[in-house]
Amino acid sequence: MSGRPALSVILPVHDEAESLRVLWPELRGVLDRLGRTAEVIFVDDASTDESPAVIRELAGTDPRVRLIRLAVNYGLTTAFHAGFAAARGDTVVTMDSDLQSDPNDIPRLLERLGECDAASGWRKDRRDPWIKRATSAVANAIRNRVSGDHVHDSACSLRAMRRECLAAIPPYHGMHRFVPTLLRTAGYRVVEVPVHHRPRRFGRSKFTARGRAMPAFLDLLAICWMMKRRIRYDVIEEVGRPRQ
């Protein structure tokens, strides 16, 4: 595909070969209806199944598809960051590749960018096991209490944002859980949009509650430090034109 696309869609992948075969026709149909030039970047996070081979097949049938393979399993934040670094679109969409994100929500997120800089998904009716729903509810409550922000679903991967928003997401592990707060701290306008959430159809969730609480809390403290230490100022006068 020549030229710079209007839209970049980034999907982290880890052992999702079965899901990809179902997801791609859905996503392709949505992109075709949007009528925008687009690229779809699958970031394979060292899958042990046939995921890379499936993505290569998709790339062979559609020039919008790109594959980035990571050497080892670095985790979700790194996969997103690798996608951000490779994205060329003026607008960036992120979503899961396990079929729990619904591609049909993408147009609704993009529509909201007329009034804001980023639209973040809110899974109001989550279709996850109760332990995952409970853990996420507690985590969101703690994040909001400590950060002073109010986000219903901070860790939802389904988002749309203007390209310039990417500079506000630091390349550190765990930051994918705090994207709405990071963007607001940087001065960007963020809205939450209710999105569909679907049950997992294939494979097993990579989520495990054990051992995540303390790292997530330390990440939250880092976010709060950044919020308080960020430089803010207003210019009341500027005389003269800068030299070219």
Does 140 have pLDDT greater than 70? no
Q: What is the pLDDT of residue 174?
A: 79
Supply the range of the domain harboring residue 43. 7-127+153-204
Q: What is the pLDDT of residue 171?
A: 86
Structure confidence at residue 82 as a pLDDT band (50, 70, 90): very high
Give the residue with greater pLDDT, 137 vs 37. 37
Phi then psi dihedrals of residue 120, to 5 deg: -110, 135
Question: What average pLDDT is seen over the chain?
Answer: 85
Q: How many domains does the chain have?
A: 1
- Residue 239: inside a domain: no
- Residue 218: inside a domain: no
Minimum mean pLDDT range among 47-61, 89-103, 195-209: 195-209
What DSSP designation does 187 have?
A: T
% the chain with pLDDT above 70: 78
C-alpha neighbours within 13 Å on the C-beta side of residue 8: 24
Does 169 have pLDDT greater than 70? yes
Span 39-65, average pLDDT: 97
Q: What is the pLDDT of residue 200?
A: 74
Does 41 have pLDDT greater than 90? yes
Span 118-144, average pLDDT: 68
Give the residue with greater pLDDT, 140 vs 8. 8
| Residue 234 neighbours by CB under 8 Å, 6+ apart | none
Q: What is the pLDDT of residue 205?
A: 59
With a threshold of 0.85, does the pTM exceed it?
Answer: no
Say how far apart CA 210 and CA 141 lie, in whole Å. Answer: 18
Say how far apart CA 199 and CA 244 lie, in whole Å. Answer: 56
Question: 143-161 burial, b for 16+ CB within 10 Å, e for fewer?
Answer: beeebebebbbbbbbbbbb
Q: What is the pLDDT of residue 132?
A: 61
How large is the angle between the packed helices 213-229 and 130-147, nearest 10 degrees?
A: 30
- Residue 110: inside a domain: yes
3-state secondary structure of 190: strand
Taking only the tens place, the pLDDT of each residue in 180-229 is: 888 988 889 999 999 998 877 776 655 555 556 667 666 666 767 677 77
Give the residue with greater pLDDT, 21 vs 221. 21
Question: 23-36 burial, b for 16+ CB within 10 Å, e for fewer?
Answer: bbeebbebbeeeee
| Residue 2 neighbours by CB under 8 Å, 6+ apart | none
Q: What is the pLDDT of residue 232?
A: 72
Say how far apart CA 124 and CA 126 lie, in whole Å. Answer: 6
- Residue 211: inside a domain: no
Give the residue with greater pLDDT, 239 vs 234. 239
- Residue 174: inside a domain: yes
CATH number at residue 38: 3.90.550.10
- Residue 233: inside a domain: no
- Residue 107: inside a domain: yes
Q: What is the pLDDT of residue 136?
A: 61
Q: What is the pLDDT of residue 144?
A: 57
Give the residue with greater pLDDT, 37 vs 175. 37
Say how far apart CA 65 and CA 91 lie, in whole Å. Answer: 16
Residue 227's H or E segment, with its range, is helix 213-229
Which residue's entry shows tokens 């930051």? 175
Q: How many CB atoms sit inside 10 A of residue 57's CB? A: 15
- Residue 144: inside a domain: no
Do 22 and 201 meet the contact criterion of CB atoms below 8 Å apart? yes
